[in-house]
Chains A and B, each alone.
Chain A
């Protein structure tokens, strides 16, 4: 057994020699008898383990059971503050709205870019396009309820509801 073979086994051997499979244990024991470097590594592993195991345990603040119970009653299906970090939920929830925006933009962009003329090659500016194609729910002065409804239903109001300028 080489040092490279021995070292992956040393952590477990340091914790409990009997936990290492017999064949590996015999080979490791033989190697340790001959290798001062690996014996030093074994001591290092044990030193760290002993220090960590002596670490003072953190105890719960009193009343944790009651706080958990109250939180379950208060937030039956809510992920709490950690839900804000769940970007996947937000992405899935907003995907239908994004799709509806793209469709609305495709329908409306022609009328915006050719305002007043039958044919034009001048595209709308981003501001003109955004203002013309954004559903009412996403207009600057839209109410919070309208936005929430759009997200929850996944449906943006039809282009007829928007204010085309």
Chain B
């Protein structure tokens, strides 16, 4: 049974307190997803806000055929894709430098630092390596290994068969592995 069902029902009827609780419950997941997908802290909060605003506006149309979280993730992925497309167009129009011109993320993460600093650098390296994957592979892999969704839930969120999810996750890990090789050897 969907743990959010009662809150969703109340929020769909206009209960802002119930909606605020839904945001509180899921904000961490959405922020984490946005960060992993964009490898940037700059727009994460704005993306998260946009996701929940769209959820609020769409609640009346949510029929409950899937779990609320599945529906929420679907909206989040759409918002993130729109954001990526917009950033990519801006980059093509105004900047000549390639998107990942900040340097080798893996090399930077090998530097020693304090515990939390090293973890932050490691996260940054992972997220930047994820950005190098094709979008459809990255989406499946992030939902599985970063967000912890089950395969069936990923299949429903992405709207693709279970076998496709398995294939994408497999290929994504195989492609990511050489990009993270230095990280694995130093951690």
User: Which secondary structure dominates where chain B touches chain A?
Assistant: helix
Which one of A62-70, A118-126, A146-154 is at the interface?
Answer: A62-70
Chain B positions within 8 Å of A10 at CB level: 170
Chain A positions within 8 Å of B16 at CB level: 69
Chain B positions within 8 Å of A44 at CB level: 173-174, 177
Q: Is the CB of B28 within 8 A of A60?
A: yes
Q: Which B-chain residue is minimally distant from A64 (CB atoms)?
A: B27
A89 within 8 A of B: no
Chain A positions within 8 Å of B119 at CB level: 56
Q: Is the CB of A67 within 8 A of B180?
A: no
Q: Is the CB of B49 within 8 A of A68?
A: yes
**Mask for A29-65, Cβ within 8 A of B = 1, else 0?**
0000000000001001101110111011111110011
CB contacts under 8 Å to A, within B46-72, are: 46, 48-50, 52-53, 56-57
B91 within 8 A of A: no
Give the one of A12, A47, A75, A77 with max B CB within 10 A: A12
Chain B positions within 8 Å of A68 at CB level: 20, 23, 48-49, 52-53, 56
**Mask for B121-157, Cβ within 8 A of A = 1, else 0?**
0110011000000000000010011101001000000
A51 CA / B146 CA spacing, docked (Å): 10
Chain A positions within 8 Å of B151 at CB level: 12, 15, 19
Q: Which B-chain residue is minimally distant from A81 (CB atoms)?
A: B46
B8 within 8 A of A: no
Q: Is the CB of B120 within 8 A of A56?
A: yes
Q: Is the CB of B56 within 8 A of A72?
A: yes
Q: Is the CB of B82 within 8 A of A82?
A: yes
- Name the contact of A60 in the complex, choosing from B27, B122, B170 (C-beta under 8 A): B27
Q: Is the CB of A9 within 8 A of B166?
A: yes
Q: Which A-chain residue is minimally distant from B83 (CB atoms)?
A: A82
Give the one of A7, A52, A84 with max B CB within 10 A: A52
Chain B positions within 8 Å of A86 at CB level: 82
Q: Is the CB of A58 within 8 A of B170?
A: no
A92 within 8 A of B: no
Shortest distance in angstroms between A73's beta carbon and chain B's nearest beta carbon? 9
Chain B positions within 8 Å of A69 at CB level: 16, 20
Q: Is the CB of A58 within 8 A of B32?
A: yes
Shortest distance in angstroms between A92's beta carbon and chain B's nearest beta carbon? 17
Q: Is the CB of A60 within 8 A of B86?
A: no
Q: Is the CB of A61 within 8 A of B166?
A: no
Q: Is the CB of B53 within 8 A of A80?
A: yes
Known: A56-B119, A56-B123, A57-B32. A71 touches B49 (CB 8 A): yes
Q: Is the CB of A64 within 8 A of B48?
A: yes
**Mask for B28-46, Cβ within 8 A of A = 1, else 0?**
1001101110000100111
A22 within 8 A of B: no
Interface residues of A (CB under 8 A from B): 7-12, 15, 19, 41, 44-45, 47-49, 51-53, 55-61, 64-65, 67-69, 71-72, 75, 77, 80-82, 84-86
| CB<8 Å pairs between A and B, sample of 6 | A45-B170, A51-B183, A58-B31, A58-B41, A65-B23, A72-B53
> Given A68-B52, A72-B53, 14 more contacts at CB 8 Å?
A8-B170, A9-B166, A12-B169, A44-B174, A44-B177, A48-B177, A48-B180, A56-B122, A58-B31, A58-B41, A65-B23, A65-B24, A65-B27, A67-B45
